[in-house]
Amino acid sequence: MARVGVAFGGRSVEHQVSIRSARTVIGALTGAGHEVVPLGISQDGRWLDRELSQRAVKGDLDNLGAMEGELAPTLRHLLDSSIEVLFPVVHGTWGEDGTLQGLCEMLDLPYVGASVGASALAMDKVLCKRQLESCGLPVVEYGWVRGSDFEAHPERALKALPRLPFPLFVKPSIGGSSVGVRKVGSPEELQEAVDFALRFDTTALVERGVQGRELECSVLGDQQLEASVVGEILPGNLFYDYEDKYLLDTAELEIPADVSPRVTERIRSLAVDSMTAIGGHGMARVDFLLEGETGPATTEINTLPGFTSISMYPKLWEEAGLPLPRLVDRLVEIAFAVHLRRRSLDDGIKDWLAQLGA
Ligand SMILES: Nc1ncnc2c1ncn2[C@@H]1O[C@H](COP(=O)(O)OP(=O)(O)O)[C@@H](O)[C@H]1O
Ligand SMILES: [Mg+2]
C-alpha cells in the first residue's frame, strides 16, 4: 500500500467539479487500503495546507477561493508531504494539460495518468485532431483560426477556412467544460463565435456540426490499453453545454449505450487507438460523435476525466466489472510501473554515455 497524494481544485473553471471528483477518489483509495494525503489547490493556484485541504474533502468547503501571498512558497505543501505517488484530480488547464505532470517529472515523483506530452496533446483539440488524422483515425471535418490572423484580418482568416456545411461548432482549441463553445447556424454568426472562442485560447477550432449521438468509452492501462463498455450522453440542452453539464443536471447517461455490437466494438477499438496515437497511458475517457450511417469519429480525449460518483469514467468501468477501489488501485500500480520504466530509460542513457567514455 502506498502513501498517495491527491491534488485537487486548481485554477480552471472545473475547480468545484475537481473537489467532488477528489472526494470520490480519496474514498476509493482509502477503501483500497492506501494512506491518502489531500493536497488542495486554490482557485489562484496556491497549494494549501492539510487542514484546509481536509475541510474541502470532508465537504465543509465547496471551493478553495483565492489566497493572499506568493504562489511559489506554497509548493512546500507538496514538497513536504512525503508522498510516494501523486494522483492528480485537477481537471483542465494547470492540471490535465501536462503542466502538473511536468512538475512531477522534475521532482522524480510517480504520478497517475498520462505523461507530459500525451496530456498536452489531448488538451489541445486542434493538435490532437491533427495527430489522430495522421494516424488514419476518423475525426469530424474541421479547420482552425489563429488569433493573430483573426485580429489582423478577420474576413481573410475566415475565408481561409475549409468549406464546411452549416451548422458549425466553434470552440477554443484548448478548453473544457464546453466553455467558449458555440453552435453556429449561418455565415453571419461565424465571426462572432470565433471572436468569442478566441477569448479563451489563441486558436479557435471550427468543426462541422454533427447531428448525431454522443458516445464515450473509458480507457485504462499501461503498455496494453483496455477499453470499457460504451456509454451515451443524452444532453438536456441543444448540445452538452456548460449549463447542461454543471447547472441544470438534465443530461442523462445511458450505460451501456443502446448501439449495435458492431458499433460498440468499433468505438472500443477506436478509443484504444486514439489513446495510442497520442502516446497515452494510465486513463482517459475518449468521446465520439456517431452520425447516421457513417461510423463514429473521435471528438476528444480527456486524460483526467470527471471522477465524481456519477461520472462516466468510473461508471463505465463499474459496468465492465471493475469497481472504483480496484480501478484507483490499478491506476496507482500503473503510475509506479511507468516511473520505473522511465528510470530504466535514464539508466540506459547513462550506461551508453559511460560506454562512450570508456
Ligand atoms: N462537431 C460537433 N457536432 C455536434 N456537436 C458538437 C460538436 N462539437 C461539440 N459538440 C457539442 O458540444 C459539447 C462540447 O464540445 P467538446 O468538443 O466536447 O468540448 P469540451 O472539451 O468543452 O467538452 C459536446 O459534448 C457536444 O454536445
Ligand atoms: Mg467534451
Predicted confidence (pLDDT) at residue 134 exceeds the cutoff of 80: yes
Q: Which residues have any ligand 1 atom within 6 Å of their CB? A: 140, 169, 171, 175-178, 181, 207-210, 214, 235, 239-240, 287, 289, 299-300
> Rounded to the nearest 5 degrees, what angle is found at the Cα of 64, between the Cα atoms of 59 and 69?
145
Q: Do domains 3-112 and 141-208 have the same CATH topology?
A: no
Q: Which residues contact 12 (CB under 8 A, 6 or more apart)?
A: 18, 90, 91, 92, 93, 94, 95, 96, 176, 177
Mean pLDDT of 10-16: 91
* Fold of the domain spanning 3-112: Rossmann fold (3.40.50)
In degrees and rounded to multiples of 5, residue 35 shows phi and psi of -95, 125
The reported pLDDT for the residue numbered 250 is 81
Q: For the domain bounded by 141-208, which CATH number is listed?
A: 3.30.1490.20
10 pLDDT band (50/70/90 cuts)? very high
What's the CA-to-centroid distance between 188 and ligand 2, angstroms? Answer: 26
The reported pLDDT for the residue numbered 249 is 74
Atom of ligand 1 at shortest range from CA of 241:
13
Mean pLDDT of 248-264: 92
Atom of ligand 1 at shortest range from CA of 233:
25
The two beta strands, 282-290 and 213-221, are: antiparallel
Amino acid type, 279: G
Query: What is the spatial distance between Cα 221 and Cα 141, in angstroms, rounded to a whole number?
Result: 29
Q: How many CA atoms lie within 13 A of 353 on its CB side?
A: 6
What does the domain layout of the chain look like in residue ranges? 3-112, 141-208
Amino acid type, 223: Q
Amino acid type, 44: D
Mean pLDDT of 34-44: 97
Asked whether 58 and 26 are in contact (CB, 8 A), the reply is no
Mean pLDDT of 180-208: 97
Averaged pLDDT of the chain: 95
Ligand closest to Cα of 14 equals: 1
Mean pLDDT of 170-186: 94
Query: What is the spatial distance between Cα 183 and Cα 303, in angstroms, rounded to a whole number?
Result: 25
What's the CA-to-centroid distance between 290 and ligand 2, angstroms? Answer: 14
Residue nearest to atom 26 of ligand 1 (CA): 240
What's the CA-to-centroid distance between 206 and ligand 2, angstroms? Answer: 15
What's the CA-to-centroid distance between 238 and ligand 2, angstroms? Answer: 14
User: Which is nearest to 91 in space by CA: 251, 311, 252?
Assistant: 311
Q: How far is CA 302 from CA 24, 219, 269, 313, in A?
A: 18, 10, 16, 10
The reported pLDDT for the residue numbered 13 is 87
The reported pLDDT for the residue numbered 309 is 82
**What are the b/e assignments for 87-118, b being 16+ CB within 10 Å?**
bbbbbbbbbbbbbbbebbeeeebbbbbbbbeb
The reported pLDDT for the residue numbered 243 is 83
Query: What is the spatial distance between Cα 355 and Cα 38, in angstroms, rounded to a whole number?
Result: 44
Mutate to test the pocket of ligand 1, among 299, 312, 313 (most ligand atoms within 8 A of CB): 299
Cβ atoms < 10 Å from Cβ of 149: 15
Asked whether 306 and 314 are in contact (CB, 8 A), the reply is no
Q: Choose between 138 and 243: higher pLDDT.
A: 138
What's the CA-to-centroid distance between 42 and ligand 1, angstroms? Answer: 28
Asked whether 200 and 179 are in contact (CB, 8 A), the reply is yes
Mean pLDDT of 33-52: 96
Mutate to test the pocket of ligand 1, among 169, 250, 290 (most ligand atoms within 8 A of CB): 169
Atom of ligand 1 at shortest range from CA of 207:
1
| Residue listed under C-alpha cell 508531504 | 81
Strand partners, 87: 6
Ligand closest to Cα of 164 equals: 1
Atom of ligand 1 at shortest range from CA of 209:
3
